[in-house]
Amino acid sequence: MDSPDSSTRRVTVLDEGGPNSIAVANGIVGDEWTLWIVQRALGGLTQYSEYLHAGPISSAVLTARLARLVEVDVMERVPYNARPPRHDYRLTARGRAMWPILLTMWAWERAWVDGPAPRLPAMRHTTCGAVFSPVLVCAACDQETVARDVSGEFGPSGGWSRSIPSATTRRRSHSGSRPDELVVQTMAMIGNRWSTALLGAAFLGATRFGEFEQRVGAPPTIVAERLRSFCEIGVLEQSPNPQRPDWIVYRLSTKGRAFFPVMASVLEWGRQWFVSPEGPALRLEHAGCGRTFHPRLRCSECHERLRGADVEIVRDGRAARTAV
């Protein structure tokens, strides 16, 4: 689905002074089973039993996740049988608009992660018929865009305290089993409220331990553990501080900067669907054209703008029409 028209889409108006669109969007997206359910729904599943038999998900986890997705208007319950009462779970426009998030996550894991990446199938663009990778572009000028091309600052509803998902929005992704076709390192980066905040701080220019600690407001032990984890998976790189060689600075690696399309897609989805009365949480500007940056995706092969309906997953040489 392409970006919805603001005159027809049903947005959620957030509480003034409360969690902003960044916090709410990341609170929804940072859960493996939630993403798995949305991905399966984009592929055509609607019934409870279909989800239950599609992967190693327990009935308790499925019930909880579906209830949460209905609560945040990503899915809706549609009756299809009166006696006994039965419901389909179908994606709303808001849920269908999550396809760029899933697509960019999948592409990043395939390109940068050893281990699970070979298990992730390729994607085919039905418009040109080629196996492709999504390319991030600016909606205003259509130029290919990377992290260094975009500058950001908090808007009226921004600020670190309002942008960090509350602990109650995060749910453990699994208990003894995990979704198949995992995006493991993606979840290491955004599947924890402090991970999400520290990653955002890195993209906004934080490099020193004290800067990360001050900006996100996390305890020092958590900041140290998250920074160490990001260095271990190669998203951050350590180097001596030019002013104090006995201190360490942390900078995004090439792998870390390549995660920007995922971050941009999550921020854009949150901006579109969760609105604070005071105004936007974050303002992004594209250096190439000087205008407000809104992310779009295009095909790496034919360079046409992507639509979710025009993407197929290729499994075992066979293509299945789905958004991702």
Residue showing tokens 């020193």:
208
Q: How far apart are CA 192 and CA 247, in angstroms?
A: 27
Q: Which domain holds residue 281?
A: 12-28+99-321
Residue showing tokens 């027809």:
8
Q: Does 53 reside within a domain? A: no
Q: How far apart are CA 154 and CA 10, in angstroms?
A: 24
Q: Does 283 reside within a domain? A: yes
Q: Does 50 reside within a domain? A: no
**Bridge-partner residues for 249, per DSSP?**
208, 239
Q: Does 60 reside within a domain? A: no
pTM: 0.90
What is the tens place of the pLDDT at every residue in 52-75? Answer: 998 889 999 999 999 999 999 999
Q: Does 274 reside within a domain? A: yes
Q: How far apart are CA 105 and CA 99, in angstroms?
A: 10
Instruction: Count structural domains, the chain.
Output: 1
**pLDDT tens digits, the chain, 324 residues: what are they?**
344 444 457 899 999 999 999 999 999 999 989 999 999 999 899 999 999 998 889 999 999 999 999 999 999 999 877 778 788 999 999 999 999 999 999 999 999 987 644 567 889 999 999 999 999 999 999 999 999 999 999 999 999 999 998 864 444 444 446 666 567 889 889 988 899 999 999 999 999 999 999 999 999 999 999 999 999 999 999 998 777 777 899 999 999 999 999 999 999 999 999 999 999 999 999 999 999 999 999 999 999 999 999 999 886 655 555 555
Q: Does 307 reside within a domain? A: yes
Percent of the chain with pLDDT over 90: 74
The set of residues, in sequence order, having a beta carbon less than 8 Å from that of 322 and lying 6+ positions away, is: 39, 42, 43, 44, 311, 312, 313
What CATH number corresponds to the domain at position 201? Answer: 1.10.10.10
User: What is the enclosing helix (H) or strand (E) of 37?
Assistant: helix 32-42
Q: How far apart are CA 251 and CA 254, in angstroms?
A: 10
Q: Does 85 reside within a domain? A: no
